[in-house]
Structure 1
Amino acid sequence: MTRSLTVTVDRFPIAGEFRISRGSRTEVVVVVAEVTDGAHRGRGEGTPYSRYGESAEDVVAALESMAAPIAGGIDRETLRNEMPPGAARNALDCALFDLEAKASGVRAFTSAGLASLEPVTTAYTLSLADPETMRAAAEVAADRPLLKVKLGGVGDVERIKAVRAGAPNARLIVDANEAWSKDTYFENITACADAGVELVEQPLPADRDGLLATVRRPVPVCADESVHVAADLADLTARYDAVNIKLDKAGGLTEALVMAAEAERLGLTIMVGCMVSTSLAMAPAVLVAQKAAVVDLDGPLLLAEDRDPSLRYEGSLLYPPEPELWG
């Protein structure tokens, strides 16, 4: 059967405001690739991220340029070699994964070599704000088992103390989004250690993270902006203890699964993360989450509304996707 590609842009309101060190937003813009063979359809969602020079317009154009290869029957492995990683390839790779599952009747997790999918506990993100606001947010979320704390550089010592005071029993991880410097690293990571933080995500800018190879890391440090694809991993082992695998960075589930296997081989702890996006984007990431020590797939929990059908969350417990959604 001849396949065809449809590309759409969707917008979803965020519940309140989502703020990190690089800015804030109240809406998420996502791009959906839908591939049909006349009898079945597969869908995938990508979230353009300006940090990597992506816009919705660019992602749409990149996807539309793949219409002829899709019609010609391009497979996921060829796509991985011929299209650069990023949100566009993620949307298309996940759409092809979904189409294969729908057409064959074989669930995507089976094709990925997994025996089953189990529920996972996800982190819940607290946006960057002043210490008192973050303490109040932590108090509201204190019953969740794992909180991810967005930090922003100046004032982070006070922020992490405030969050710990607001959620004394929760496990904590933090994400600095490249906001620390060589001058603030030691004070901030010491405060994290004192607060019992379990993981610090991307403390330094990706182009200035060499310091991490030469200093003490009292809390394990996780690469995010410093890593995109499996080929990046070998150079990280002196600087990082863990790696955050995101499908939008990796360019799809196919590459993300290769990354997970390579991270295991290199002895790096696996974290699976996400952009703020809908259940359609989270669903394939649940496959990578089966191998992850840290799961951060709370994107839909941060939205004012999600897709229908959507993933099932019970508090912070995330259940595998049903085939009607994906895979």
Structure 2
Amino acid sequence: MNMHKTTCVTMTASIERVEMTAPFRITGYTFTHNEMLVVRLECEGKVGVGEALGVYYHQDTPATMLKQVEALRPIIEGGVSRQQLLTLLPPGGARNAVDSALWDLQAKLQGKPVWELAGLQPPKPLLTTLTVSAEDPEVMATRARAYTEARAIKLKLTDDDRNAERVRAVRAACPDAWIMVDANQGFTPDTFRALLPALVESRVAVVEQPFPVGQEAWLDGLDSPIPLAADESVQDHRDLPKLVGRVKIINIKLDKCGGLTEGLILADKARELGFELMVGNMGGTSWSMGPAFVVGALCNVVDLDGPLFLKSDRSPAVSYQDGRISCPDAVWGGPAGVGP
């Protein structure tokens, strides 16, 4: 993978906000909007763009990310490679935004799409989950049923006693859909074991992040018949060893690991250790989906539906059809044009 270094760069960094179509609820949080750091890098009349939301549970916010990026302005504008960036910024949203902009800029300067620069095959539409936030069971069933083209659905569960009702209601509403559930750290071993019969009965295919970060030992001896995925428990490749033998799937999010460069490293190392891969998102517009879509080509599970929850998106934008996401080169990471 070419760690291209670009000199004579002008950086623009700003915070943008997009309202969500409805409140989105998970364990411990309710989201009403997306706030994003957007980084633009210009060189030789070409512009590369990167977008990041950060990691809310690490207090990695667009405001703190903007300060991180501005502190590195002289280095970034003086010329920085993606490999150097891995040492200059920690995993998180700031590095993701700059890394994404560097990839996009390189694609435009070299006339090659990002997937080719990364040594991957031409992209194809990816089957993606469509997410239903944690609500009353009948509300979740109605929202799941409204995904008329969905082939895969992800249910957000929470730390109360209605999760079995939620799963059964959605399965009844969508009898043929592939379903996974995401606890966002909301279970204990006891509540998980109590819920497990309903999950099995409802043909749930994956359980994501059942337990809190720091309680990975709770996974030992759990003997779940449903594969488990780690999300919050793995930020970058350094977290992989503690999950060997405990989960089957690693959820790669570029806002967590700090960009596509680390995302590809994480994917390689996870596969070497025998994990299956999932790509997810913290939300965001099509500019966030673009680099994640590149990773998605390597993954068994894809969860890239963030723009569907926003009142507005970029133009051009990713598209959703027949339960799949497509990201043309013109959206992000393509060689044509002078950038947004």
Q: TM-score, normalised on structure 1? A: 0.97
Tell me which amino acid in the other structure corresponds to 1:74: V
2:12 counterpart SS class = strand
1:98-117 matches, within 5 Å, as: 98-117=104-123
Please tell me whether the aligned partners of residues 157 and 187 of structure 1 are also in contact (alpha carbons under 8 angstroms).
no
Which of 28, 33, 37 pairs up with 2:43?
37
Q: CA deviation at 1:171?
A: 0.7
Q: Does 1:88 align with 2:88?
A: no
User: What TM-score do you get using the length of structure 2 for normalisation?
Assistant: 0.93
Count of residues in Structure 1 that have an aligned counterpart in Structure 2 = 327
Q: Which runs of 5+ in 2 are unaligned?
A: 1-6, 335-340
Write out aligned runs for 1:197-216 (5 A): 197-216=204-223
Shift of 1:284: 0.7
**Partner secondary structure for residue 84 of structure 2:** helix
Q: 2:324 aligns with which of 298, 310, 317?
A: 317
The answer as to 2:236 corresponding to 1:229 is yes
Whether 1:72 and 2:78 are equivalent positions in the alignment is: yes
User: Who is 1:55 aligned against?
Assistant: 61
Match for residue 4 of structure 2?
none
Which aligned pairs between 1:242-257 and structure 2 lie closer than 5 A? 242-257=249-264
| 1:139, distance to aligned residue in structure 2 (A) | 2.0
Checking the alignment, whether the CA contact within 8 Å between 1:312 and 1:319 is kept in structure 2 is yes
Out of 240, 245, 259, which is 2:266 matched to?
Answer: 259
Shift of 1:315: 4.1
Unpaired runs of 5+ residues, structure 1, are: none
CA contact (8 A) 1:206 1:225 kept: yes
Q: Distance in 1 between matches of 2:325 and 2:133?
A: 20
Aligned residue in 1 for 2:126: 120
1:99-157 Cα offsets, whole Å, 9 max, x none, are 11111101111110112111111100001101111122122225410000000021111
Q: CA deviation at 1:312?
A: 2.0
CA deviation vs aligned residue, 1:226-270 (integer Å, no higher than 9, x gap): 001112112211211100000000100000011111111111110
Contact 1:141 1:167 in 2 (8 A): no
Structure 1 counterpart of 2:338: none
Question: Does the Cα contact within 8 Å between 1:90 and 1:247 map onto a contact in 2?
Answer: yes
Q: What is the aligned-residue identity percentage?
A: 37
User: Are 1:164 and 1:195, in contact at CA under 8 Å, matched by a contact in 2?
Assistant: yes
Letter in 2 for 1:24: T
Q: How do 1:293-308 residues align onto structure 2 when only pairs under 5 Å count?
A: 293-308=300-315
User: Is 1:271 equivalent to 2:278 in the alignment?
Assistant: yes
In 1, Cα distance between the equivalents of 2:115 and 2:329? 12
The answer on 1:283 being equivalent to 2:290 is yes
Residue type of the alignment partner of 1:153: D
SS of 2:240 mapped into structure 1: helix
Quick one: which amino acid aligns to residue 270 of structure 2?
A
String of CA shifts for 1:27-58, please: whole Å, max 9, x gaps.
Answer: 11011011111421110000033201112210
